[in-house]
Structure 1
Amino acid sequence: MGTRFGQVAVRRARQADVEAIRRVLAANAADASLFQQSSGRIRRNLDDFVVALEAGRQVGCAALRHHSRTNAEILAVAVDPDAHGRGVGAMLVRACMTEAESAGATFVWLATEKPDYFARFGFRPMSKWQLPLRIVLHKVRLVFEQPARRWLPALLGRHTFMRLP
């Protein structure tokens, strides 16, 4: 994958991108729906990530996790605050959607506190119980890897689960 949109290029993440991905996620830590990830977790899941680069500098990231051949989750969509409002997030979401379609995923979903943003791409609200139980349990385990102040909001349903029709 390598796509260019104006001055921004989107490509698959590489080992050299791990710390920049972590920094972009950390720069958006105020967004409670964006789970923070350690460098180790990013490194273990690096094949899931794409990055957006502008003038050689990483300005965003997103991940597409394949839970099965047909079930894929878009997560970790984050843009450097200096690049907000320039369409970088939209480029990353579209890159993940394109990759999911190319891989044959028929159930593409995400969890967010920004449903209006993702509705622009065709995502519609769904019940988290439409997901296989093993995925729901995996997401619950990830909640407890977050700072304690995020546990209750995440567990009590502030996230909207959405999927493409």
Structure 2
Amino acid sequence: MPLTYRKATLLDIPAMQVLVSPEIESGVILKRNNDEVATNIRSYQLAFEDGKLVGFCALHIHTTTLGEVRSLIVDASMRGMGIGTGLVQRALEEAKELGLKEVLALTYQQAFFEHLDFKEIPKESLPEHKIWADCINCKHFPVCNEVSLIHSI
């Protein structure tokens, strides 16, 4: 069965938490409790193979012109198969439909995002509310090794 993609529902949250837990433990992705995921459920795109959740990402809106790809995860056994690319492309399509002008990503996977036409930018250029609202919860804060990238729509 080919890969299928769809928007998330509240019933997907338990499987999403199981899939992302190894990356949370390693500090690659920020932990979001079930209520946080539920509050933002409309922002998530999911990827399935044979009915099994194999990846997801969210498009978070910061301002009327700026969004962010966050919580991009693909099952470790499925990486390198284009699933992450498909998820990010769907997020970028949604960003365009919404009228956003730019989409940012904070990541350890710089080459992956550059392959999708994201360009590196200085972290200092990020909106302050982004840094304080999310980054303060990171186990690596304040020593951040992530790269900031932006994609123009």
Length-normalised TM-score, structure 1: 0.84
Q: Which residue of 2 aligns with 1:147?
A: none
Q: Which residue of 1 aligns with 2:64?
A: 69
Residue correspondence of structure 1 range 83-102 to structure 2 within 5 A: 83-102=78-97
Query: Residues 119 and 64 (structure 1 numbering): CA distance in 2 closer, same or farther, change over 3 Å?
Result: same
Separation in structure 1 between the aligned mates of residue 112 and residue 33 of structure 2, nearest angstrom: 26
Length-normalised TM-score, structure 2: 0.90
Say whether 1:164 aligns with 2:122: no
**How far 1:31 sits from its partner (Å)?**
5.0
Q: Which residue of 2 aligns with 1:37?
A: 32
**How far 1:30 sits from its partner (Å)?**
5.7
Identity %: 21
**How far 1:69 sits from its partner (Å)?**
1.7
Partner SS for 1:135: helix
Query: Residues 27 and 45 (structure 1 numbering): CA distance in 2 closer, same or farther, change over 3 Å?
Result: same
Partner AA of 1:7 in structure 2: P
More divergent stretch after superposition (111-120 vs 36-45): 36-45
Return 5+ residue gaps in structure 2 as ranges: none
> Is the CA contact 2:136–2:142 (under 8 Å) kept in the aligned structure 1?
no
Say whether 1:119 aligns with 2:114: yes
Separation in structure 1 between the aligned mates of residue 63 and residue 6 of structure 2, nearest angstrom: 23
Q: Which residue of 2 aligns with 1:146?
A: none
Separation in structure 2 between the aligned mates of residue 86 and residue 28 of structure 1, nearest angstrom: 19
Separation in structure 2 between the aligned mates of residue 28 and residue 108 of structure 1, nearest angstrom: 22
Give the paired residue count. 152
1:64-86 CA-partner distances (Å, limit 9, x unpaired): 00112211000000011222221
**How far 1:134 sits from its partner (Å)?**
1.7
Cα RMSD, aligned residues only? 1.7
